[in-house]
Chain A
């Protein structure tokens, strides 16, 4: 059995500690250099100090009941003082583990340990712990090893041409151009006139802006640039696309 890192006591207490900010501010406001100042402050603020003590004790109790067990097959986290919550996560179902070591926790050798499976609510982590390096090492010893090389070998990968065609047909820039062209050719004179007038206005405004910017970029270049951007983005994003099949 392992406990979370004692730093978690502060985290459990933190959400209540801020309530004491006002008594603290009042204490600072009334501060004046006096040898009996601390005594008089403690005499006036004894109730606040007692509340602070109770909050920290509550944090300690919550930390004490947050326990980590593990067997060869699953990781178990027990949480809650009155309402006991047990979370059982089989190691074989863990799809990702994240260990975060913030620099301010480094002197205390504490780190955030996050563990996720393929189930659960999106954008939330299935298990989030604040652990010491020792506990993290013990948990990781039980994690299944992944041989990345073995998994990558033999994986079907699309070739450059198929990605190129995919990018052409599925980028919104291409379909947008096709729609616009269809509209211009088949839309009739009225639509053509309306659109042309609007485009003229846009072009005049654009020309004013470009003149101001001394760039002199033709409107056509802007359209081509937008199309190129819409085409390049999916191309780049699909460049390292891989299909993986994992047998259990």
Chain B
């Protein structure tokens, strides 16, 4: 059995994306809202939410995710407040979708979705090498990279 964990690069990428989104929102608030008090309140609220997300929730979320793969099945464990364990046998996989962003080896945006009878198992924020390995373990033959 082999354990897989989310790519830590992804946490940095997510923080950068959230920071960019916050900057855009704050610019829009300052530009479109003329009332100073509302602007200040919005800035405080937006920055608080972003800080909570970047430094509390996301690290906890990333720490909570782990995947274990054997020769016959893959198990996902996740959940910050409620732990969820989901297992899927490779033999029940009907088809597989893999989603990768550009430069996914640096961003850590590699996702695999296993579609099985009656549902799906989503493996999120994997390292590219881990994603390749899991796809290969699951029995997909044509793992093409371009």
Chain A interface (Cβ within 8 Å of chain B)?
A: 69-71, 73-74, 76, 78, 80, 82-90, 93, 117-120, 126
Contact = CB atoms under 8 A, between A and B. Distances in A.
B94 interface: yes
B95 to A, nearest CB: 4
A168 B44 CA distance: 68
A76 B145 CA distance: 12
- Of A71, A80, A119, chain B has the most CB atoms within 10 Å of the CB of A119
A119 B95 contact: yes
A87 B140 CA distance: 10
B94 to A, nearest CB: 3
B97 interface: yes
A71 B142 CA distance: 7
Interface in B93-108: 93-102
Given A118-B117, A119-B117, A85 B141 contact: no
A69 B142 contact: yes
Interface size band for B: 20 to 34
Nearest to A86: B98
- Of A76, A82, A126, chain B has the most CB atoms within 10 Å of the CB of A76
B97 A87 contact: yes
A55 to B, nearest CB: 22
Prevailing SS type, chain B contact patch: strand
B40 to A, nearest CB: 37
Prevailing SS type, chain A contact patch: strand
Interface of B: 93-102, 115-120, 135, 139-142, 144, 146
Given A78-B146, A119-B120, A120-B115, A87 B94 contact: no
A127 B121 CA distance: 18
A82 B95 contact: no
Contacts of A117: 94-95, 115
30 contacts: A70-B142, A71-B141, A73-B142, A74-B141, A74-B142, A76-B144, A78-B146, A83-B99, A83-B100, A83-B101, A85-B97, A85-B98, A86-B98, A86-B144, A87-B95, A87-B96, A87-B97, A88-B95, A88-B97, A90-B95, A90-B140, A93-B94, A93-B95, A117-B95, A118-B117, A119-B93, A119-B94, A119-B116, A119-B118, A119-B120
Contacts of A119: 93-95, 115-120
Given A76-B142, A119-B120, A126 B98 contact: no
A82 B99 CA distance: 10
A215 B93 CA distance: 60
A88 B98 contact: yes
